[in-house]
Every structure is written in C-alpha cells, then in structure tokens.
DNA sequence: GCCAACGTTGGC
DNA sequence: GCCAACGTTGGC
C-alpha cells in the first residue's frame, strides 16, 4: 500500500483572531470554527496528517502568507459546534451527526519575509493560484506543490519541500 | 428546485 | 466603511 501523497494547503485566518504568532507560541493548535461546506468537505475528505499549510493572514494590512504549518492527526468533529458558549456553536449539529470538521496543526515556521497578497498576485510563477482569484473567499484552499515551493522561496523560508 | 433577499467575507 | 462576490435561507 503506497503512502498517500502529501497535499498542500492555504488556510486563512484573521490574525486578530488567531495568528501565526499564536500558533508559534503554543506550538500546536486546532483549526476550528470553519462554517463553510466547501471548506468542510475539503477538510473532511482531503486533509491528512503530514500535509503542509501556508498560514495566511486575512483582513489585515497587508494580507498575505505569514508562516508554515503542518496538519497532524486526522480530521475530526469540530468541538466548538457542540459548545453552547462558543460563537461557533451549531444547534443543528449532534454528536452522532457532527456537521463541522476541525484539524490539528503544528507550527513549523514564521516566514522571515511575509509574502503579501500583492506579491502573490504579481508573481508570474504563481499564475492560477487560488488565493489570487478575485472574489475567492474560500478559507481552505488547495495549493499546487510548485506554487507552495515558490511561496516558500518568496518568503525566504527555512522549510524545504522536495 | 428556483431564486430573491439577506448575510458574510475580505480586499481595498 | 464600501461593496463585489459568494453562500445560505426560506417562501413558493
């Protein structure tokens, strides 16, 4: 049985809510509160331990890729959907039939040079990258390996992807 | 199942 | 704060 090929992702977060520095501080974190079905389906069906993540800061100045993380463990039912005190509580979710998915992530590095969106948009090697598309609000996006590597280079990352 | 109205995202 | 681009909801 061949090992599953590692996949690459871009995950958006508003740094005022949860930033790469928060993840750096804790070392590991839970990517929860995703309440979009497309994003949910991607997390549930396609994410797996070992996948690499571009940590993207949105709704800030400037928006852009701020760091690198890794998915650890398998996707699981997002606990916040059961938590009545949480802003992400969903009364339609049950333990038997959870509606929303979370993943655990671990910190890899903060980019020496954040790669702002306008740089992502200008770089010809990143043609076709999802986050560049106008009106793309999806907070969980697949990233092609060549694009992932290019962003690492633009950010002077220590992380190497073979 | 259509689609209008409403809500949210997120760059600017 | 604006608003375009989506997503979701709910009446029909």
| Per-residue pLDDT tens over the stretch A114-136 | 999 999 999 999 999 999 888 88
Q: Which regions of chain A does DSSP assign to beta strands (E)?
A: 8-13, 28-31, 52-57, 64-77, 101-116, 140-142
Predicted local confidence at residue A94, as pLDDT = 86
Q: Please state the φ and ψ torsions of residue A49, each to the nearest 5 degrees.
A: -55, 135
Yes or no: say if A147 and A154 are a contact pair by the CB < 8 Å rule: no
Q: Which nucleotide is nearest to A135 (CA to C1')?
A: C5
Predicted local confidence at residue A162, as pLDDT = 86
Predicted model pTM: 0.94
Whether residue A3 is predicted with pLDDT greater than 80 in this model: the reply is no
Strand B nucleotides within a 7 Å radius of protein CB atoms: 8-12
Strand C nucleotides within a 7 Å radius of protein CB atoms: 4-8
Predicted local confidence at residue A31, as pLDDT = 96
Q: What is the mean pLDDT of residues A5-22?
A: 95
| Per-residue pLDDT tens over the stretch A72-129 | 999 999 999 999 888 898 888 888 889 999 999 999 999 989 999 999 999 999 999 9
Predicted local confidence at residue A102, as pLDDT = 96
Helices (H) and strands (E) in chain A, counts: 4, 6
Tokens found for residue A46: 């396609």
Q: Which nucleotide is nearest to A63 (CA to C1')?
A: B11
3-state secondary structure of A63: coil
Predicted local confidence at residue A68, as pLDDT = 97
Whether residue A54 is predicted with pLDDT greater than 80 in this model: the reply is yes
Instruction: Report CA(A158)–C1'(C7) in Å, whole number.
Output: 37
Footprint of strand C on the protein (CB under 7 A): A 36-38, 133-138
Predicted local confidence at residue A61, as pLDDT = 87
Q: How far is residue A3's CA from residue A152's CA, in Å, rounded to a whole number?
A: 24
Helical (H) or strand (E) element with A61: none
For strand B, list residues 72-131 of chain A whose Cβ lies within 7 Å of it.
Answer: 117-118, 121
């Amino acid at each position: 049985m061949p090992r599953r090929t590692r996949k690459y992702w871009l995950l958006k977060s508003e740094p005022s809510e949860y930033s790469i520095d928060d993840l750096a501080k804790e070392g590991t974190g839970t990517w929860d509160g995703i309440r979009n079905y497309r994003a949910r389906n991607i997390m549930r069906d396609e994410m797996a331990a070992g996948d690499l993540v571009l940590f993207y800061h949105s709704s800030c100045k400037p928006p852009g890729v701020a760091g690198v993380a890794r998915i650890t463990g398998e996707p699981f039912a997002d606990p916040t959907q059961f938590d009545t005190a949480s802003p992400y509580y969903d009364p339609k979710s049950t333990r038997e039939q959870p509606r929303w998915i979370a993943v655990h992530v671990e910190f890899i590095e903060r980019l020496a040079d954040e790669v702002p969106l306008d740089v992502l948009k200008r770089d010809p090697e990143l043609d076709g990258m999802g986050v560049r598309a106008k009106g793309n609000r999806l907070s969980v996006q697949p990233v092609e390996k060549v694009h992932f590597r290019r962003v690492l280079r633009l950010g002077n990352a220590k992380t190497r992807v073979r």
